[in-house]
Amino acid sequence: MPTATETHPISALLRRRRPAPPPAPPGTAELRAGDSRVVIVPALGGRIIALELAGRQWLWTAPGLETASSEDPAAGAALGGMDECFPTVAEATVPVGGVPVTFPEGGELIARRAETKIATPRGVMEAVSTWRGERHPYRFTRTVRVTAEGVVEMRYEARNDGEAPLPFIWASRPFFPLSAETRILLPQRSRVRVASQHGIDLGGTGTGAASEHQWPHLRLEKRVVDLSRPESVARKYAAKLFVDPVGGTVAIEEPPLRLELVVDPQEVPELGVWINRRAIAPKKQRAPNLIALQPGIGAPDSLAEAMGSWQSARTLAPGERLRWKVQWRARRIEDLRPEP
């Protein structure tokens, strides 16, 4: 049975029989089991800065992330790691109870400290993070646990504590480094809609004009490209795509390992795919080479657009709560090949 050791009032770990990685910085919550490790920073909106599975750190993080401030919501994607966006991803103004309400870039969670507690129900250690709404009364909870098999499981609950219906979209944004060997695996011929693009022409984008493709082959002006190998498409470009439904195999391969995302498409119907091939740079920083697989409820990133032509936003009635879960697991690619 896993055991815990307190290293900080809000940090804990599971012992394991192998050399330990460097200790987590102060002010973090750390979970370990098997070959997996998760490190959470409550002060940075509950951002996850380490997602280690099969002994590999999968997340891309910006230099200085551990000492960053959560006061600038727009810096969310620039920090890297994994963050939670609710009730929108992009800045949006929408009617709530008949009154226009503007939610900031990244939503409300990434700029608010997450109340984080460590619990050990049934002998499994988990970190429970809770946020409360600022512009509308709601409570958002994420429970992260690492199973004995090394699977990272995240359970979510959103509850509307207000007297008016609350429209929302949600997305978890894990950022991963992009290399020449990176391969994105999605169900063949899944519908792909283009939400934004930079340095590349994949057709129309935005409200009412988003071009549609079938994964993994996307049409450029004069050729068809295989976006499952993002680095080979062009030297410098960026694109945000949305894939639905999200059922089937969703994974990133970095040989010799594959990181798999497991969701119930009835609970989590959308998947955002963000590719930044050194095209967009945060202020005073070099443009990174990264991708993101963004499980979500509702698309695209703007709640206003999701409520509009995309017709994919959800609404919580007063007092209603909604639950869903996401799992991450890693396996060796050679173990997945069929026997000859």
pLDDT of residue 86: 98
Q: What mean pLDDT do residues 309-330 have?
A: 97
pLDDT of residue 3: 36
Residue 337, pLDDT > 90, answer no
Q: What is the architecture of the domain spanning 4-336?
A: Distorted Sandwich (2.70)
> How confident is the model over 253-292, as pLDDT tens digits?
999 999 999 999 999 999 999 999 999 987 777 889 999 9
Residue 62, pLDDT > 50, answer yes
pLDDT of residue 73: 44
> How confident is the model over 101-126, as pLDDT tens digits?
999 999 999 989 999 999 888 878 89
Lookup: tokens for 78: 């620039």
3-class SS of residue 9 = coil
Number of C-beta neighbours around residue 177 at 10 A: 17
Whose CA is closest to 291, among 331, 225, 240, 219? 240
**How far is it, in rounded angstroms, from Cα 94 to Cα 304?**
6
The burial of 71, by beta-carbon neighbours within 10 Å (0-12 exposed, 13-18 middle, 19 or more buried), is given as: exposed
Residue 52, pLDDT > 90, answer yes
Q: How many CA within 13 A on the CB side of residue 77?
A: 24
**How far is it, in rounded angstroms, from Cα 186 to Cα 290?**
17
Residue 32, pLDDT > 80, answer yes
Q: Residue type at 138?
A: Y
pLDDT of residue 125: 87
pLDDT averaged over the chain? 87
Lookup: tokens for 69: 């401030």
User: How many percent of the chain have pLDDT more than 70?
Assistant: 86
- Mean pLDDT is lowest, of 11-20, 22-31, 52-61, 307-316, for 11-20
**How far is it, in rounded angstroms, from Cα 246 to Cα 262?**
9
